[in-house]
Amino acid sequence: MLIFDDVEVLDFCGPFEVFSVARLPGDDTRDESQAPFRAVTIAEREGLVRCVGGLLVQPQYTLENHPPLDILVVPGGWGTRREADNDIVLDWIAAQDRHTLLTTSVCTGAFLLALRGILDGKEATTHWASITRLRDSHPAVTVLDDVRYVDTGRVITSAGISAGIDMALHVVSRLLGPEAAAYTARQMEYERWHPAKGAEA
């Protein structure tokens, strides 16, 4: 999970919860070393990150010292407007995308992917209030509205805030199976998740 000042809290905390809770059906172990995912937070530099609403988060790693990533989650929030001019972060996202199994975004995190061409020629989505801005500023991207997430294979984008939970559960379903995603959703008491509905709104 990339985080930065003015990141939307649930954009990264929602997927973080999904990946940290994810288990195969019937696996009630609390041994994190045996968990299928290891969720971590990564910031440009050391020090507290001030999220939307004032929540302070201490990132576990920086862009320079994080472990290799299989899945990248780029969240949104007002901070994406500033990060859109931050070549250090944008270049890091592009570099990670060359090696990840999956590159994902939540909400306006899609803009940071789009700025490095990761969404060019693909379908994508973002927060409903930013659909037109993404469509106008990145015409090479086919922007979809009224969907919770869009899976194009290696790149998955989601709509705003709580939709990141659906996207993360979809990733669990893809990698571990729909039963694991349903089990994880039940552990979270997240009743919205319905694997059969896919990316429907």
Residues serving a catalytic function are 107
- The Cα–Cα gap between 10 and 14 comes to 5
Q: How far is CA 111 from CA 51, 52, 93, 130, in A?
A: 18, 18, 12, 10
φ/ψ (deg, to 5) at 72? -110, 130
SS3 annotation, 15-67: HHHHHHHCCCCCCCCCCHHHCCCCCCCEECCCCCEECHHHCEECCCEECCCCC
75 contacts 3 by C-beta, under 8 angstroms: yes
Rg (CA), the chain: 16
Query: Count of alpha carbons within 13 Å of 179, Cβ hemisphere only?
Result: 4
